[in-house]
Amino acid sequence: RFGQLQQQVLRSTKGSSPDAQLAAAYRDAALGNMRKRWNVAFHEWCVQAIEYYYLLDTELRERWLHGSRGDRPRVTVISEALRKAAPGTNRHQLAQELPTRLKLLDLGSCANYFARHSTFDV
């Protein structure tokens, strides 16, 4: 039903505005879809993966920089940069260039889910 509504709204666009009733039904369906547990879980997973990859959480960043190898179990942006960096470059030097917030262009999530998180400028 949700996908069908989207197609109907797109087809109803004449000039610059879609049919108002279809657009309202699509908005309501999008909000209902956003609240489904699987959708919330997926978006939370995305947030956690992005926060880890860019080391946006201060505690995680400190553990990753100063902890043991066990504190760095997954690839991060620093891991990638270290592979490409000049010999002698260390993770502490690269961490100085890490952002504390990311600009995020959210295409298609319908409910601006990522704006709820303080680590993103959406």
The predicted-structure confidence for 12-40, as pLDDT tens digits, reads as follows 877 778 878 888 887 787 777 777 888 88
0.85 surpassed by pTM: no
* pLDDT, tens digit (0-9, with 9 covering 90-100), for 55-113: 888 888 888 888 888 888 888 998 888 888 888 888 888 888 888 888 888 776 666 77
Residue-level pLDDT at 109: 65
Distance separating alpha carbons of residues 19 and 12, to the nearest angstrom: 6
Residue 41 burial by Cβ neighbours in a 10 Å radius (0-12, 13-18, 19+): exposed
Residue-level pLDDT at 115: 83
Backbone phi and psi for residue 121, each to the nearest 5 degrees, phi listed first: -105, 105
